[in-house]
Homo-oligomer: A and B are copies of this chain.
Amino acid sequence: MMLRSISFVALRPRTFARYCSSGGKITAPPMVYISGEEMTRYAMELIIEKWVKPRVDISAWEFYDLSCKNRDDTNDQVLHDAVEAGKRIGAIFKEPTITPTEVQRKSMGLKKAWGSPNGAMRRGWNGITISRDTIHIPGVQLGYKRPVLFERHAVGGEYGAGWKPVGRGKLVTQFFPAEGGMEATLTRTDFTVVDERDLNDQENVAVVYHNPLDNVADLAHHFFSRCYEAGVVPYVVTKKTVFKWQEGFWTVMKQVFDEHYKEKFTRAGLLDGSGELQHLISDAATMQIIRWTDGGFGMAAHNYDGDMLTDEVAQVHRSPGFITSNLIGKREDGTLIKEFEASHGTVADLWAAHLRGEETSFNPLGMITAIIGAINHAASLQGGNTMGAMSRSELVKAKKKAVEDEDYDEAKRLKEELVKLDAQASACKVTQFTAMLEKAVHTCFRVGEGTRDMVGPNGLTTEEFIDKVEVRLSRYLRGEEDPVEPDAVIVPERRDDPHYAVDSSAVKNMFDQYDLNGDGTIDAEEFEAMLVKLGVAPLLNVKAREQAAGEREAGQV
């Protein structure tokens, strides 16, 4: 689910204040919290201490420490436990972790260079898709104007490839159907030859992978319902014109779309004028991501293409700090398992500065967006959406009466109803809390109380920012609004980001190049010429271009 589905309009601070006026904390529903390392862990510890714990009872959260040290101490049992808990509970927040290199293994004194936990999580949670969307702050202009939603198929492709360097010889791939047993022996004859090829070079590397397709329909539903909710145009991206085996992905996506969504999208005018779900060839998509800076589109792609393309989306939308990374899986009972994380790493350079005693200014937006998503998903798993016909007091009365009547079956049923109702109320309260928290964070950025990557050298330190948000959050929780709402759209200077050092002399050269009449400014005409030259001008006839690309492709296989 998109964060933007939590509308500020729906917030009633006064009501919320009343909820909590007794001084009691609200109860957070069960969630798995996976902690990581370095700067991101430090910041999250502060955030939990200052923002969450004073107001929310998080005793139902299960904590798993996925630091290298703890994985080493537990021989990675902690990873298995975290995966099991995630499967059981269904809502997971994860801080960035370190996958140690050999050098780090030695310096940390680890027994083993523990691999990335992602594989175990994707397998354990039956990963369907990694949703990577642009994060937007109302009133602050980042990259795309409107949301960009991305589904990257979480399984299959080269990420799970088997491979071996081999010499000259023959490579044979056989498939043994499960009906004959899952043992493949040389004596079985019920196989199909998938591929047989002569390798004539002295040095080769052989690569085998598979794309499982059973969960593509789930991906399709997740993708199209998100696109519809966000009001964006969906595209399916593959290289199927050349890689014919990718046709299956498209076929399933289109089937689901035509059967369940086409009518809705058509009515909403979300089909790019064509009236049909559109396919984009992967190489054409690399350019559209740069051209369509207005946003308002979604893309669903295979694993590797999704990796390449979401990296581009992240760059256009400022940096990976402003992109979500949510793994969507599915439990056997059909419940969606959702793991939320930031798209960035542990920010080792800021951590080193912090350890040296220097001031830091870390922007935790990606992690905050992630934990809010996880808490909200945990809440949505609580009790579902059905509200009973009776109020709480009516239920209590009815239960009392059932006990008096010695109708214990009914009393038991009513007791369960009450538990469910309380869970719903708690879930409702906790999502109101996260909405206020999100508003507090966003407003800080909007009014210039942000970190230095957003507001420049006068920005707040890591700790100051967390404190400022806390002040604002308290204000909202007391039912107070911001005194004055700022109107102007803030455009953060990307050059304030220490990781984004613009080469000013190169920029000057570019400017002179596009200032065709040399008058020191670029007018509207020069601007269009420039966009055209940079190859990022928005185009009218996307379809014609796509078709042309397809023809060229087909001729060049």
Interface positions of A (Cβ within 8 A of B): 96-99, 101, 115-116, 118-119, 141, 143, 145, 158-159, 161-180, 182-184, 186, 189, 192, 194-215, 239, 242-245, 248, 282-284, 286-287, 290, 293-294, 304, 307-308, 311-312, 315-318, 320, 325, 343-346, 348, 491, 493-495, 499-504, 506-511, 513-514, 516, 520-524, 527-529, 531-541, 544-545, 548-549, 551-552, 554-557
In the assembled complex, the Cα of A308 lies from the Cα of B281 at a distance in Å of 10
Known: A529-B493, A538-B506. A523 touches B521 (CB 8 A): yes
In the assembled complex, the Cα of A327 lies from the Cα of B271 at a distance in Å of 40
The reply to whether A522 and B532 form a contact with Cβ atoms under 8 Å apart is: no
The reply to whether B557 and A116 form a contact with Cβ atoms under 8 Å apart is: yes
Which chain B residues border A514 with CB–CB below 8 Å? 527
9 A/B residue pairs, CB under 8 Å, sorted by A: A145-B513, A163-B195, A172-B175, A173-B173, A206-B209, A316-B534, A317-B535, A318-B533, A521-B523
Which chain B residues border A158 with CB–CB below 8 Å? 243
CB distance from A549 to the nearest CB of B (A): 8
Task: Give the residue name and chain of the B residue nearest to A98 (CB).
Answer: B555
CB distance from A35 to the nearest CB of B (A): 15
Which chain B residues border A244 with CB–CB below 8 Å? 163
Known: A119-B557, A538-B502. A204 touches B208 (CB 8 A): no
The reply to whether B286 and A533 form a contact with Cβ atoms under 8 Å apart is: no
Q: Given B116, B290, B520, B522, which contacts A555 in the complex, CB threshold below 8 Å?
A: B116
CB distance from A124 to the nearest CB of B (A): 14
Which chain B residues border A320 with CB–CB below 8 Å? 552
Q: Given B201, B215, B495, B538, which contacts A212 in the complex, CB threshold below 8 Å?
A: B201
The reply to whether A245 and B194 form a contact with Cβ atoms under 8 Å apart is: no
| Copies of the chain in the assembly | 2
The reply to whether B555 and A538 form a contact with Cβ atoms under 8 Å apart is: no
Q: Given B163, B184, B192, B308, which contacts A166 in the complex, CB threshold below 8 Å?
A: B192
In the assembled complex, the Cα of A164 lies from the Cα of B208 at a distance in Å of 12
The reply to whether B294 and A509 form a contact with Cβ atoms under 8 Å apart is: yes
Closest 9 CB pairs of A and B: A162-B195, A506-B538, A521-B521, A283-B311, A494-B532, A201-B212, A201-B214, A168-B178, A195-B208
Which chain B residues border A513 with CB–CB below 8 Å? 141, 145
Which chain B residues border A545 with CB–CB below 8 Å? 499
Q: Given B118, B495, B516, which contacts A532 in the complex, CB threshold below 8 Å?
A: B495
Known: A308-B286, A315-B287, A511-B527. A208 touches B186 (CB 8 A): no
Known: A165-B248, A194-B162, A491-B529. A535 touches B199 (CB 8 A): no
CB distance from A535 to the nearest CB of B (A): 4
Which chain B residues border A283 with CB–CB below 8 Å? 307-308, 311-312
The reply to whether A287 and B312 form a contact with Cβ atoms under 8 Å apart is: yes
In the assembled complex, the Cα of A313 lies from the Cα of B209 at a distance in Å of 30
CB distance from A476 to the nearest CB of B (A): 30
Which of A96, A317, A495, A511 neighbours the largest number of chain B CB atoms within 10 Å of its CB? Answer: A511
In the assembled complex, the Cα of A507 lies from the Cα of B533 at a distance in Å of 13
The reply to whether A171 and B197 form a contact with Cβ atoms under 8 Å apart is: no
Which chain B residues border A508 with CB–CB below 8 Å? 524
The reply to whether B197 and A210 form a contact with Cβ atoms under 8 Å apart is: yes
The reply to whether A207 and B163 form a contact with Cβ atoms under 8 Å apart is: no
Which chain B residues border A248 with CB–CB below 8 Å? 165, 203, 205
Known: A499-B544, A524-B511, A541-B501. A207 touches B203 (CB 8 A): no
Instruction: With A164-B194, A166-B210, A167-B177 given, name 15 new contacts (CB 8 A).
Output: A162-B173, A162-B195, A169-B175, A170-B176, A172-B173, A172-B174, A182-B198, A202-B214, A206-B210, A283-B311, A290-B290, A316-B534, A500-B537, A501-B540, A502-B540
